[in-house]
Amino acid sequence: MDVDIDKIPKHLLRFEYPIFEFNKAIIDATHQYVVAYKPNMAFYEANGLKGWKSLEKTIKYLNKNYPEVFTIADAKRGDIGNTSSMYAKAFLKDLDFDSITVAPYMGKDSVEPFLNFEDKFTILLALTSNEGAFDFQTLSTQDSPLYKKVLETSKTWNYAHRLMYVVGATKAEYFKEIRSIVPNNFLLVPGVGAQGGSLQEVCKYGLNKDIGLLINSSRGIIYASSESDFSEKAAVEAKKLQLEMKQILENHF
């Protein structure tokens, strides 16, 4: 849910919280096809107080009406311990998201405050979908590239069973090796669709016995139409992806 106020249908602007109204309609129309929603914090912070309020209303709406759907605060936070604790409180306790994305650069003590939350998940950036992933993430360290070090090292942290990892769909050829390091953790996979990643390829190497994949599609669904039929068109796109996934799963299991 990367909801840009400039891209949503104009008729929603008459509401007090247009972004929330947009989200609500998208959620109601697509919930039967999705396993998770992932509001992207930047898009809410870019709207200041009203953005933050829209975020609060969205997560409350989800938790109240669709408590079975997994929720992800796409925040990519990560800071020294006492600061990470504050972010963890904000997103996992106060807003009550099921999970949060976290950047690994600052290491163990920057991630553990998130992992301390029982029944919550921390989704660590491993190999991201963007071009800049090749700047540092794939650099060779002594024995393996940095992103593998992130996987290997984070496996040793307390409560590592509460870890998931971001692995971009545009890096499908890496999934096999990634699965050999973290066979059981869920992977959050952005980059299918707009960014060019292949769902088939990702599933071929990424699926595990629990499925183990959260496939993200954002702009391809929420901006399927910019007219008053935006939520029906979003449902069509969500259903399309869900059916594609279903077929892959039927062939796989």
Catalytic site positions = 76
List 213's β-bridge partners, or say none: 187
DSSP letter at 145? B
**Smallest gap, in angstroms, from Cβ of residue 133 to its own copies?**
6
Is the Cα torsion angle 80, 85, 90, 91 positive or negative in sign?
positive
Distance CA 203, CA 213 (A): 8
Q: Contact with its own copies (CB under 8 A): which of 43, 121, 174, 186?
A: 43
DSSP letter at 166? E
Residues 183-212 that bind its own copies (CB under 8 A): 190
**243 is an interface residue for its own copies by CB under 8 A:** no
Q: Contact with its own copies (CB under 8 A): which of 17, 20, 87, 223?
A: 87
Both tokens of 80, joined, read 């020294």
Closer by beta carbon to its own copies, 145 or else 212: 145
**151 is an interface residue for its own copies by CB under 8 A:** no
Residues 105-144 that bind its own copies (CB under 8 A): 105-111, 125, 128-137, 139-142
Number of C-beta neighbours around residue 53 at 10 A:
16
**146 is an interface residue for its own copies by CB under 8 A:** yes
Q: Contact with its own copies (CB under 8 A): which of 1, 25, 123, 150?
A: 150
Q: Dihedrals φ, ψ of 8, to 5°?
A: -85, 155
Distance CA 134, CA 107 (A): 20
The site that binds its own copies (CB under 8 A) totals a number of residues, namely 58
Binding piece for its own copies, criterion CB under 8 A, among 13-21, 25-33, 42-50, 227-235: 42-50
Binding piece for its own copies, criterion CB under 8 A, among 46-54, 60-68, 229-237, 245-253: 46-54
Find, among 19, 26, 30, 88, the residue nearest to 55 by Cα.
19
**82 is an interface residue for its own copies by CB under 8 A:** yes
Q: Contact with its own copies (CB under 8 A): which of 14, 16, 49, 64?
A: 49
Binding piece for its own copies, criterion CB under 8 A, among 25-33, 35-43, 173-181, 221-229: 35-43
Distance CA 86, CA 151 (A): 24
Placement of tokens 């007090």 in the chain: 16
Distance CA 111, CA 152 (A): 14
Placement of tokens 């039967």 in the chain: 32
Q: Dihedrals φ, ψ of 162, to 5°?
A: -95, 10
Closer by beta carbon to its own copies, 55 or else 202: 55
How is the beta sheet containing 99-102 ordered, strand by strand? 36-37, 70-77, 99-102, 121-127, 163-167, 187-189, 213-215
**Smallest gap, in angstroms, from Cβ of residue 202 to its own copies?**
17
> Which residues of this protein are in contact with its own copies, per CB under 8 A?
2, 4, 40, 42-43, 45-46, 48-49, 52-53, 56, 74, 76-84, 86-87, 89-91, 94-95, 103-111, 125, 128-137, 139-142, 146, 149-150, 153, 190
